[in-house]
Amino acid sequence: MNRKDWLASLAVDATPTIEDCIEQLGATFPLLYQYKETEQDPQWHAEGDVYIHTGMVLSELYVLLSNEASHITGESRQALILGALLHDIAKPMTTRRKEVKGVERVVATGHEAMGRSYVAHRLLNLELSYSVVDSVMGLVGEHHMPKLLVIKQMGAGEYWKLARKASMELLYWLEVADMKGRICEDLNEQLDLLAQFRLFCEEYQLWKEHKPLLQLAADMAPHLVGLDETTKDMVFARTMRDFEEGDISTFEEGIARTYSYRQGFSEVYVLYGPSGSGKSTWIERFGPECEVISLDELRAEINGDRSNQANIGKILNTARERLKTYLRAKKRVIWDATNLREDFRSLICRIAFDYHAFVTMVVFHKSENQLFVDNKNRSYPVPEMVLRSQLDQLEWPVPEEAHRYWVIDHQGNTIKQSGSFKRNNCDKTTGSINN
């Protein structure tokens, strides 16, 4: 069976083994070949390595899909199976031995977020809809969160955040399979934590869609009449963010907090994307009236060559000072750089937040294969080894890094939004993975 048909079969009734999955997808996700070599801590995974565990998780998931979760069909079923296969994909990169309280343990710290980053551009090489790609990324990146939210007794706001990144229902079923697909002493306790997670999701109306955001937009709509679309987004996104942080409890508080900004506020668009993502083309179309701070252009200005990486401190300081000047003047600003690391992005976002700017994260999501093709056709291509390094080290952005979050496809179209008033107010069928 060819790959396209094999992937399509996951949406119907296929139950491939771990061997089948690796045969079909190993070339796209080479870390799958390292599952057998990746050990796990015997206290939590007495069954053995990641290969054995993942095979057991898939088997348990198929049992669930034929019984309690038989209502999960089509693309949701496809995403859930791929999420199970890939949920520990970064363990080969992160697994190490560490002494904890005098005992040597096997840990894989951060494998969830690193896994999402690893699959982000590779998933687009496959014959999948974007909703499936987005859903799989959410499952891989957030599969540790259901139990953690319960253990830490987190409030509704943290559940709101999670529901903007992943389907809560699919996360639940993935984690039930994850727990049952291992040998550990506290299985019943782990499953009880997941049962509590489901109850909280249902209580907060987040189980199948992010109903609170739809309700928030509906409640706010009469108060936003006459405002332009960006201002509506600003009021809505700031209120949403304040709810998530636990700073307010009613939408009226959110509206009141934004009155002082409505007469004029700066906007900052922080771009993310490896070389060849289409950032420059998008800027030409979107931002002719914006101030653009380009690190490439600053390298050309200061070093005489946009590819010269010298004087990085001076370049960054110059860029930050220009940003602050524009923010004081309440300008619209585009921060044009690859911004592949979260700490680089957060530094710019913090400056913008300090100046009360409205911040949009613009994420360019193009397949790994297309990135290499398009890089060759750029006016200023980077060496292939540099692009490969970017893809291996990138840290995928998440919605809470900014007020508003846009994902741009290879054609320059916006294919996902978070923090948009219009989308939440008008699209009543939108599920949690697309909010």
Summarize pLDDT for 184-238 with one digit per residue, the tens. 989 999 999 999 999 999 999 999 999 999 999 999 999 999 999 999 999 999 9
CATH number of 3-203: 1.10.3210
- Superfamily covering domain 267-402: P-loop containing nucleotide triphosphate hydrolases (3.40.50.300)
- Which residue pairs, CB below 8 angstroms and at least 24 apart, start in 375-379? 375/275, 375/276, 378/275, 378/276
- Measured between alpha carbons, how far is 47 from 39 in angstroms, rounded to an integer? 10
* Domain layout of the chain by residue ranges: 3-203, 267-402
The C-alpha angle 137, 134, 394, rounded to 5 degrees, equals: 50
The C-alpha angle 241, 141, 190, rounded to 5 degrees, equals: 100
Q: Which helix (H) or strand (E) holds 74?
A: helix 74-86
> Residue 264 — left, alpha, or beta (φ > 0 → left; ψ -120 to 50 → alpha)?
left
pLDDT of residue 91: 98
Range of weakest confidence among 117-126, 227-236, 298-307: 298-307
Report whether pLDDT(99) > 90: no
Q: What is the CA 398 to chain-centroid distance, rounded?
A: 4
Give, in order, the Cα–Cα distances in Å from 179 to each of 45, 147, 165, 407.
10, 11, 21, 32
Arithmetic mean of pLDDT over the chain:
93
Model confidence pTM above 0.85: yes
| pLDDT tens digits, one per residue of 318-333 | 999 999 999 999 999 9
Greatest C-alpha distance within the chain = 65
